[in-house]
């Protein structure tokens, strides 16, 4: 009698197939690239990878499988021990494009191997005693193989678009070979008479039926409306047995009989409570709220016509937040239920429920969820804000450099001191802006120091002014030393500046000019003095005689990386569908708000995370998972990449009410 398969034995069998999988990928990808002319640009980068692909793929995949055999999640990133600036990683557009490539491979495998993945997932879940099989229960899930493929494709430096194209080309060969491996493993399970684990583990008939009906409803070309549902319910209630629906005048609003309104609401609420995505405690909470909803429907006829009614908005918000949790015993989920208990009690106990009461409750729930999300982001919000400001460093450097040059153009500065202000002190100011904020007290203090320095180099008019200058000097020198310490400027770079400054102040205190006889008058200062001496006629003549700008010559003869220029091909915006797509992306991005939960594919895996922080210019976003240490910061461009490829969705993208309306319309078809 053969030994029953175990997690370890199945993983060992999968490991033995790795060389064959690598060879198949090598040969089949080569065939795909040669078969289609559109893949011609990818042949050169593939030649650079091909020579070492077998070794690189096996070297990437085997440690992942070994880690899975030890019961670990090889794709899970450990929690960060520090939440400082250096510990945060920002998912930018390049990383997002990499995630899109991974998702494409994973989707190709799942589409090809869906039954086999379902069977293996149930089997591994049964071995671990998990009551509800999830994708991650399968240690041989497609994401693991996709990650190994990405690592092999990263063995040489490629442009992101080239790597993306090669991943897409290898997706179908990967799916074909994994289908063979998965089928072979499932055959072993059936031969061992473990089909009861493969097919029925964690099966919940009611939920499966509900999920199937919801899936059918979601395939409707147009989402149903409450008005459309009202007409269908009335037709269903008034139609004689065996007869078709009664004819109605087009556009005529539904007229509810005393029975039809409550019947529709009852049917609708039954569908809401049957939603398979809701955990049992959340269904119980919504069931208690039904009492207030029914009482409201008796006095507010708009409830069964308006999908934007505050009542439905509250149910949608509560359901969307609750769907972020996988376990009913999650402490954060339990805290949410306790907070909602008070809201439900207030609405149920109200003498006369009104839309205004539901709207006030919705506002409190939104405010509470937003507050909690912001509290969860406090540990890293400051560092993330600094990370955002870090992206502005070059821009701030360029802007301040021009400002300081203009400010010091005609100032009596020594050569070392002038160079210091335009280099080292510029870094001091920008560093304070990055760490503490552009308008922070620290940044303002560094900027004001420049004003104090320039003022201290003006010749005192009398003895009292010299005494005032003498008293200001210790603070001025201390400010200079403090700024140098902030950027760890070496002593050999700061001491010559201090010495020159001391000499200049010494001359001023002795009644001399700030610049000595041997000092060169700054060219800008000389130009400014000469400018003041010119008459208006001379100025006009100088302008007329100035040489033509050399800027066109620079662009004509200098090698320029046009890929770095902030331009967009005009033809990209000539297409109506492109404009519509960009408008849709902008609309969706503008709808992202703190407190909402999202499913998104980030750094090689799907996760559920809450928007917890958005930068002031809406260019950087922080998402936090159920585990507060699972933090993911993304740029706006990265989010747009995920959105355009279907790799991010809000949990309330299709509302609880809309799913119930669609499903009830599906049930109330003319044949029922």
- Express each pLDDT in 103-156 by its tens digit: 888 888 988 888 888 888 877 777 665 544 455 567 888 888 999 999 999 888
Q: What percent of the chain has pLDDT over 90?
A: 26
Q: What are the pLDDT digits (tens) for 273-283? A: 888 888 899 99
Contacts (Cβ under 8 Å, ≥6 apart) of 472? 452, 456
Full set of structural domains in the chain with CATH? 7-76+83-202 (no CATH), 206-238+261-353+657-667 (no CATH), 392-543 (no CATH), 577-653 (2.30.30)
CA angle, residues 579, 99, 570, in degrees to nearest 5: 25
Residue 419: band (very low, low, confident or very high) from pLDDT cuts 50, 70, 90: very high
Q: What is the pLDDT of residue 251?
A: 42
pLDDT at 193 over 60: yes
Buried residues in 281-296 as b, exposed as e (16+ CB within 10 A): bbbebbeebbebbebb
The position carrying tokens 């009410």 is 657
Contacts (Cβ under 8 Å, ≥6 apart) of 294? 262, 265
Mean pLDDT, rounded, of the chain: 77
CA distance 274 to 271: 5
Query: What's the whole-number mean pLDDT along residues 34-54?
Result: 89
The position carrying tokens 């210091």 is 420
Q: What is the pLDDT of residue 366?
A: 87
Enter the tokens of residue 650.
Answer: 């809000």
In three-state secondary structure terms, 648 is: strand
With DSSP H G I counted as helix, E B as strand and the rest as coil, what are the percentages for the chain, rounded to 5?
65, 5, 30
CA distance 338 to 357: 19
Q: What is the pLDDT of residue 652?
A: 65
Residue 487: band (very low, low, confident or very high) from pLDDT cuts 50, 70, 90: confident
CA distance 586 to 65: 41
Q: What are the pLDDT digits (tens) for 601-657? A: 887 678 888 888 887 778 788 888 877 667 787 888 888 888 888 888 887 656 788
As a whole number of angstroms, the longest Cα–Cα distance in the chain is 113
Q: What is the pLDDT of residue 374?
A: 74
pLDDT at 17 over 90: yes
Q: What are the pLDDT digits (tens) for 196-249? A: 554 443 343 344 445 444 454 444 545 677 767 767 766 666 655 444 444 444
Highest mean pLDDT among 190-204, 244-258, 426-440, 515-529: 426-440
Q: What is the pLDDT of residue 669?
A: 61
First to last CA, the chain: 53
Q: What are the pLDDT digits (tens) for 334-349? A: 989 999 999 999 999 9
Q: Give the containing element (helix H, strand E) for 631.
A: strand 631-635
- Which range among 23-27, 243-247, 536-540, 584-588 shows the weakest confidence by mean pLDDT? 243-247
Q: What is the pLDDT of residue 206?
A: 41
Q: Give the containing element (helix H, strand E) for 70.
A: none
Residue 378: band (very low, low, confident or very high) from pLDDT cuts 50, 70, 90: low
pLDDT at 524 over 60: no
Enter the tokens of residue 427.
Answer: 């870094």
Q: What one-character DSSP code corresponds to residue 281?
A: H
Q: What is the pLDDT of residue 570?
A: 30
Contact 169, 32 (CB under 8 A): yes
The position carrying tokens 């693991």 is 144
Q: What percent of the chain has pLDDT over 70?
A: 72
Q: What is the pLDDT of residue 74?
A: 73
How many residues are recorded in the chain? 672
Query: What's the whole-number mean pLDDT along residues 447-467?
Result: 91
Highest mean pLDDT among 197-201, 446-450, 520-524, 566-570: 446-450
């Amino acid at each position: 009698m053969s030994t029953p398969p175990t997690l370890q034995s199945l993983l060992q069998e999968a490991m033995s197939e790795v060389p064959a999988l690598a060879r198949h990928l090598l040969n089949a990808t080569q065939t795909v690239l040669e078969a289609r002319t559109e893949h011609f640009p990818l042949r050169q980068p593939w030649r650079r990878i091909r020579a070492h692909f077998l070794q690189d793929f096996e070297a990437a995949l085997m440690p992942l499988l070994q880690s899975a055999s030890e019961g670990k999640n090889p794709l899970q990133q450990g929690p960060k021990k520090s939440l400082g600036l250096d510990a945060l990683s920002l998912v930018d557009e390049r990383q997002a494009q990499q995630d899109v490539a991974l998702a494409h491979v994973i989707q190709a495998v799942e589409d090809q191997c869906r039954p086999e993945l379902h069977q293996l997932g149930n089997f591994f879940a049964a071995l671990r005693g998990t009551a509800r099989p999830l994708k991650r229960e399968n240690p041989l899930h497609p994401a693991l193989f996709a990650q190994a493929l990405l690592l092999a494709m990263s063995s040489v430096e490629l442009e992101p678009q080239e790597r993306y194209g090669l991943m897409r080309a290898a997706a179908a060969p990967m799916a074909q070979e994994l289908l063979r491996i998965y089928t072979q493993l499932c055959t072993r399970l059936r031969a061992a008479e473990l089909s009861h684990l493969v097919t029925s583990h964690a099966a919940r008939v009611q939920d499966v039926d509900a999920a199937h009906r919801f899936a059918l409803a979601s395939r409707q070309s147009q989402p149903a409306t409450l008005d459309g549902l009202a007409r269908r319910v009335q037709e269903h209630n008034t139609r004689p047995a065996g007869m078709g629906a009664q004819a109605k005048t087009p556009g005529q609003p539904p007229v509810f009989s005393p029975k039809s309104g409550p019947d529709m609401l009852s049917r609708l609420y039954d569908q809401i409570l049957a939603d398979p995505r809701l955990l049992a405690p959340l269904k119980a909470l919504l069931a208690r709220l039904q009492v207030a909803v029914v009482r409201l429907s008796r006095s507010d006829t708009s409830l069964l016509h308006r999908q934007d009614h505050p009542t439905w908005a509250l149910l949608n918000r509560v359901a969307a937040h609750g769907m972020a949790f996988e376990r009913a015993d999650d402490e954060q989920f339990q805290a949410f239920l306790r907070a909602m208990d008070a809201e439900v009690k207030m609405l149920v106990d109200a003498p006369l429920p009104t839309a205004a009461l539901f709207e006030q409750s919705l506002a409190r729930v939104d405010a509470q969820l937003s507050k909690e999300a912001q509290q969860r982001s406090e540990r890293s919000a400051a560092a993330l804000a600094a990370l955002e400001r870090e992206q502005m460093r070059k821009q701030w450097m360029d802007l301040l450099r021009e400002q300081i040059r203009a400010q010091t153009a005609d100032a009596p500065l020594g050569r070392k001191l002038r160079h210091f202000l335009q280099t080292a002190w510029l870094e001091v100011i920008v560093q304070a802006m990055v760490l503490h904020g552009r308008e922070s007290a620290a940044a303002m203090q560094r900027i004001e120091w420049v004003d104090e320095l320039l003022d201290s180099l003006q010749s005192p008019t009398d003895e009292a002014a010299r005494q005032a200058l003498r008293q200001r000097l210790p603070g001025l020198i201390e400010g200079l030393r403090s700024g140098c310490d902030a950027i760890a400027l070496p002593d050999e770079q700061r001491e010559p500046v201090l010495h020159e400054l001391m000499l200049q102040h010494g001359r001023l205190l002795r009644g001399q000019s700030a610049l000595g006889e041997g000092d060169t008058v700054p060219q800008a200062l000389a130009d400014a003095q000469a400018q003041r001496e010119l008459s208006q006629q001379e100025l006009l003549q100088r302008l007329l005689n100035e040489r033509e700008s050399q800027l066109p010559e620079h662009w004509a003869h200098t090698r320029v990386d046009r890929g770095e220029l902030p331009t967009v091909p005009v033809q990209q915006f000539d297409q109506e569908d492109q404009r519509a797509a960009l408008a849709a992306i902008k609309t969706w991005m503008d709808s992202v708000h703190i407190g909402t939960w999202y499913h998104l594919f980030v750094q090689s895996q799907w996760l559920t995370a809450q928007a917890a922080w958005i930068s002031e210019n809406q260019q950087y976003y922080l998402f936090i998972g159920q585990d507060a240490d699972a933090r993911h910061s993304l740029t706006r461009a990265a989010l747009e990449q995920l959105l355009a490829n279907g790799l991010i969705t809000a949990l309330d993208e299709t509302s609880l009410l809309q799913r119930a309306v669609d499903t009830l319309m599906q049930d109330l078809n003319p044949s029922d």
